[in-house]
Amino acid sequence: MFDMGPYYITALISLFGPIKRLTASTGKALKERMITSTPKFGEMIKVETPTHLSSLLDFENGAIATLVTSFDVWGSNAPNLEVHGTTGSLIVPDPNTFGGPIYIKRQGEMTFQEVPLVYGFQENSRGLGVLDMAQAISDKRKHRANGDLAYHVLEAMHGVLQSSDDGRHYEMKSTCCQPDALPLTMTTRGF
């Protein structure tokens, strides 16, 4: 949750706005696991935190999201982020890599169609938040990846663990503004 959760929860808040409440179940598949990265590759460690977290997020606008973060899935063909609405469904790129195609399937259509991308940053553009922050300081406005958003995301991640531990909904105490979409004119030299 604390590795991948920030990307996905931030993306969901960007799409739907702040979270009102959430509920979750967590667990761990193994009591011990082998480290698969260097420099401690092959070393066995005790698993001390939940490694599979399933949660439902209720947004203030009425949207509901299912979020699963897991260290116990070895492969999947499921899209990273799907959005289902009243007149269609979207498959959007992995928020952890910032790039990739968007697909839409409207009600009554048989297949998903790729949507042309209109923004210039279609690759792994992790610096966009810093670029927006610098431009926001210059423009004297609040940047999109601000402290209120970050705190709300952090509270939601802790709330998932708390909800599972308590066996009930977790009511969010913080809130944030839904970030504005990036302007279509954004370039590496500003907006």
pLDDT tens for 54-100 read 999 999 999 999 999 999 998 888 888 999 999 999 999 888 887 78
User: Considering only CA atoms, which of 9, 132, 120, 145 is closest in space to residue 67?
Assistant: 9
The neighbour count for residue 38, using CB atoms within 10 Å, is 7
- Residue 69 CA to chain centroid, in angstroms? 10
Residue 113 pairs with which residues in a beta bridge? 104
Q: Please tell me the pTM assigned to this model.
A: 0.90
Measured CA to CA, the distance from residue 157 to residue 148 in angstroms comes to 14
Residue 46 phi/psi, 5-degree rounding, is -80, 135
Per-residue confidence at 144, pLDDT binned at 50, 70, 90?
very high
Q: Taking residues 137-147, what's their average pLDDT?
A: 92
Strands (DSSP E) found in 9-162: 19-27, 32-34, 44-46, 52-59, 64-70, 81-84, 88-92, 102-106, 113-115
CATH among 1.10.10.10, 3.40.50.11740, 3.30.460.20, 3.30.360.10 for 5-34+42-76+125-167 = 3.30.360.10
